[in-house]
A and B are shown apart, each in its own frame.
Chain A
């Protein structure tokens, strides 16, 4: 009995401290994002790092434990680049950054957003490759990266995203072949158009990144 009660004290201790610490780190991560972005229309003016948590910041939504679950900044005229801090938002489900002027690479650290359901980075100026780490986002249902300047091949690892329902990488500069396994069996051709893609992959016949 004694070890059990000790354990429960320990667990209570953990429970009582973890949320406070993590909400702070989430606020810090978002504030770091604010510093990276140029914000001509002041959509981020409420992002005040002196508040105890970011839950009253506009465009940020928390769950009842004050964890950030949504970031809704679609069509908000922000520019700049994303940074590795975004990976700190462990509870994030919706990352909506579409229709802005955000450039640079898609941070590999987005692969640690284990709860992410939707990643909408479409209609921006993202460059570089689609990070393979996105394949770690097992809850992902929406992945829209269309209308950017992304290059390289579509990471084949994405075929393991069994929940993926909507996928769009059209209007980029991608090369290689299009995966056909897993959820990719259902995506329409429009999701891939206007790239340098060579067509569906022909396993064993043509190299996956043919033409890259």
Chain B
């Protein structure tokens, strides 16, 4: 940010200077250019390509001093300055004929990744050479070091250029501006010493030069004439060296952002009193505090300390910095209260203090003189309280107000009404418990992005017309029917509210194609009725979530017109019938959740064509037939949940082809997007999913990105567990319980080392528990109960840590943690040190104490029941309750419905 700003400034200055001088010359010119130089320029033109016709004025008939970009000495007529931009091709050596050229600008051309011509090093009169952004590649020619008069050299934005060393550069004895950003300089270790020997160097820009050391061992570096130093976007990976304490006292810009700097910021950095730009952001391991002395840097305009690990409080002396325009302290570890002197920063345009641990109150005084403030970011300071009077009229007109996850409520802030140019309003999770004021919805019509989610805001939205591009009203208490939306709305998230009424009224409101709605999330409301037949009016939809409502009827064929659909969520309704084949048009789909409905028929074979599918959840429906082999074509699939249906037949052997479950992710998958910084780009974060990973339901939000899960429990599957399944090395959760599976647990089961939860209970599995299961060190839930497994339970810290209940119902299974001891034959199996302590005495004493305990408690309970009527009644009521609880536990798969609201 800092780098681009400063370079823009330079560019503007240059542009201003050159245009003024050129136009000035053109008005006054009375000499002609000489023929030799004219021919040299025409020869240059012949080598160039000119797609934008910038050289159209370069013709044989005219005085070359009048050509675009050419400047001659107004006494001698010799060409002294030359600028060619927006062209390309090849630079002809005819340039050498321009013996008096001192200014050469070949920036912003396309020289097709050719090398910088080495003959430029022979143009000894050059004082200014600009080759930036010209698509040069390769080694920077050492000959450039011969340009001893050169005061300005820019080679920036040629990402393909590099140096083998920088020793040749010592010839640039007059250099004042040296701009090499994005050239690869990493091969020169002594760059600090070489660059610090230029006697007149005023500006040094080495941003993104792949430098990896600031040579911290040097005690002193003679950068005493440098007023602007940009070393951003390098990979230093060490502390800011001591020599930064001895830079020029006239230093006005220091840029060290994104440089992988570590350790404490030396307080001496804050002693340069001429600083205007102090840019240190995005060094995540940079610690330290902001010293009180910062108040002495009177000319400071830009202070970017964001995205570091700075702690301590904001010093009150910051109020002295009356030139401050940008104050970015966000994403640090700042604590304490915000000083009231902040309100004195009368030039401040952008204030970012979000994502810290600031506390206390922000009152009217904190903003008293902030007349120019446009961007206010105070989000994510959980204990910061924005507390102003209800009649406050702020001195500013904001364009962005980011106030998420701090305290703004309980009253709805009325001062917002004074803001007429707001573009972004993020007021999510701000503890507002209030009715929406009557002015609010009209006021929002010009705001592009609104986030009011996670509050307790009330109001009937039936008659509201929404016009913002992005609207997140999730988790509030809005009631009435669905609001109406204009064609501008791209995202409407109104999930978790109290809306009612038929969904079709909303879906059929726009009988034209002029809408851009991409996200509609109205899940967790009380919407009812059929899914409507108006889907062809919503072709831009990408994410649709109507889950947990009271929708009925079939999935209409017209939903197949949603060709852009990425997620389709209809879970937890009463939708019936088959999945229509028209849905196979939705080829982009990644996320299907139709769980907890009354869908029936077979799983469609065309599902294999949905090759982008990541999540496929049909849990708790009435699907019959086999699991189609086509499912194995879904190589990106991460969650396959077909539990609690009536599926029969075998588990497909080809499941091994689902490579997302077999190999680590090359990139992290995200199902949620959303930023809260000034680059606010809210997309959609409603892609959560209910899973049953370890015996009970869990709602996965962000962590869904890491889950690999197969749940086929509670069906009528038969055959054996395919041995091929053992190659799903990345699988976290596997539930095959309550089927009719037979045969052995695959021998290499233990090679699925990421498994945290395995439920194979209530099948007809036989044979021994494979010893490889001892390798599952992450296993935290295992249920093998009610099968026909036999032999000794293998020994491992994990396998013996589970309750005996996880192994019961296998009469021939023995060893820890089951009370049943193994016989000699069984004993010979893999017995290791873990679990070695069960000896005869312990087991027999266990039985003895069990017997004693049984007799004693039998008489204690039955005796009491026998003699006491009230006790008897209470006891049997308790038994009834226990039975219900037990039934619920055993038939967990049949609990087809759960309402998040209930």
Chain A positions within 8 Å of B, measured between CB atoms, are 45-46, 48, 50-51, 55-59, 61, 64, 70, 72-76, 94, 96, 98-99, 117-118, 120, 142, 144, 165-166, 168, 186-188, 190
Contact = CB atoms under 8 A, between A and B. Distances in A.
B693 to A, nearest CB: 8
B100 to A, nearest CB: 62
Nearest to B841: A186
Interface string B834-857: 111101011000000000000000
A48 B706 CA distance: 12
Contacts of A76: 777-778
B67 interface: no
Interface in B663-720: 694, 696, 698-703, 706
Contacts of B701: 51, 56
B798 A72 contact: yes
Contacts of A118: 797, 801
Contacts of A45: 706
Contact of B778 (A51, A72, A94, A168): A72
A166 B834 contact: yes
A75 B754 CA distance: 11
B801 A61 contact: no
B777 A70 contact: no
Contacts of A57: 703
Interface in B808-851: 833-837, 839, 841-842
Contacts of B841: 186
A89 B798 CA distance: 20
Given A74-B797, A74-B798, A96-B801, A51 B703 contact: yes
B781 interface: yes
B287 interface: no
26 contacts: A46-B703, A48-B702, A56-B698, A56-B699, A58-B756, A59-B778, A59-B780, A61-B694, A61-B756, A61-B781, A72-B756, A72-B777, A72-B778, A73-B778, A74-B777, A74-B797, A94-B780, A96-B801, A120-B797, A142-B797, A142-B800, A142-B801, A165-B837, A166-B837, A186-B842, A188-B837
B78 interface: no
Contacts of A50: 702
B703 A61 contact: no
A72 B834 contact: no
Given A46-B703, A75-B777, A96-B777, 8 more contacts: A59-B756, A72-B780, A98-B777, A120-B797, A166-B834, A186-B837, A186-B839, A188-B837
Nearest to B702: A48
Nearest to A183: B837
> Shortest 3 CB-CB distances between A and B: which pairs?
A74-B777, A75-B777, A56-B703
Interface centre among B780, B800, B834 (most CB of A within 10 A): B780
A35 to B, nearest CB: 11
Given A72-B778, A75-B777, A98 B797 contact: yes
Nearest to A43: B778
B779 interface: yes
A138 to B, nearest CB: 18
A70 B798 CA distance: 11
B463 to A, nearest CB: 34
Contacts of B234: none
Interface of B: 694, 696, 698-703, 706, 732, 756, 777-781, 797-798, 800-801, 833-837, 839, 841-842
Q: Is the interface of A mostly helix, strand, loop or mixed?
A: loop
B702 A94 contact: no
Nearest to B838: A165
Most chain A beta-carbon neighbours within 10 Å: one of B778, B797, B842: B797
Contacts of B780: 59, 61, 70, 72, 94
A190 B833 contact: yes
Nearest to A146: B833
Given A76-B777, A166-B834, A186-B842, A56 B797 contact: no
A188 B839 CA distance: 11
Contacts of A187: 837
Contacts of A55: 698
B834 A99 contact: no
Contact of B797 (A46, A58, A144, A186): A144
A94 B802 CA distance: 10
B778 A74 contact: yes
Contacts of A142: 797, 800-801
Nearest to B695: A64
Contacts of A58: 703, 706, 732, 756, 778
Which of B698, B756, B835, B837 has the most chain A CB atoms inside 10 A of its CB?
B837
Contacts of B778: 58-59, 72-74, 76
A94 B800 CA distance: 11
Contacts of A72: 756, 777-780, 798
Contacts of A46: 703, 706
Contacts of A186: 837, 839, 841-842
A142 B817 CA distance: 12
Contact of B700 (A56, A61, A165, A188): A56
B801 A94 contact: yes
Nearest to A117: B801
A118 B836 CA distance: 15
Nearest to B405: A50
B497 to A, nearest CB: 19
Contacts of A99: 777
Contacts of B801: 94, 96, 117-118, 142
Contacts of B777: 72, 74-76, 96, 98-99
A46 B668 CA distance: 11
A168 B797 CA distance: 12
Contacts of B839: 186
A19 B842 CA distance: 38
Contacts of A98: 777, 797
A42 B836 CA distance: 34
B243 to A, nearest CB: 31
Contact of A166 (B694, B696, B835): B835
A57 B797 CA distance: 21
A64 B800 CA distance: 22
Q: Which of B698, B777, B800 has the most CB of A within 10 A?
A: B777
A94 B694 CA distance: 15
A61 B699 CA distance: 14
B696 A64 contact: yes
A202 to B, nearest CB: 24
Contacts of A188: 836-837
Nearest to A167: B837
Contacts of B756: 58-59, 61, 72
A99 B753 CA distance: 15
B333 to A, nearest CB: 12
A120 B835 CA distance: 13
Contacts of B834: 166
A72 B837 CA distance: 23
A48 B701 CA distance: 11
Contacts of A190: 833
Contacts of A61: 694, 756, 780-781
Nearest to A59: B778
A64 B698 CA distance: 9
A10 to B, nearest CB: 23
Contacts of B798: 72, 74, 96
Contacts of B699: 56
Contacts of A94: 780, 801
Nearest to A61: B780
A83 B756 CA distance: 25
Contacts of A75: 777
A209 to B, nearest CB: 26
B828 to A, nearest CB: 19
B845 to A, nearest CB: 11
A25 to B, nearest CB: 14
Contacts of A64: 696
B513 to A, nearest CB: 39
A210 to B, nearest CB: 26
Nearest to B797: A120
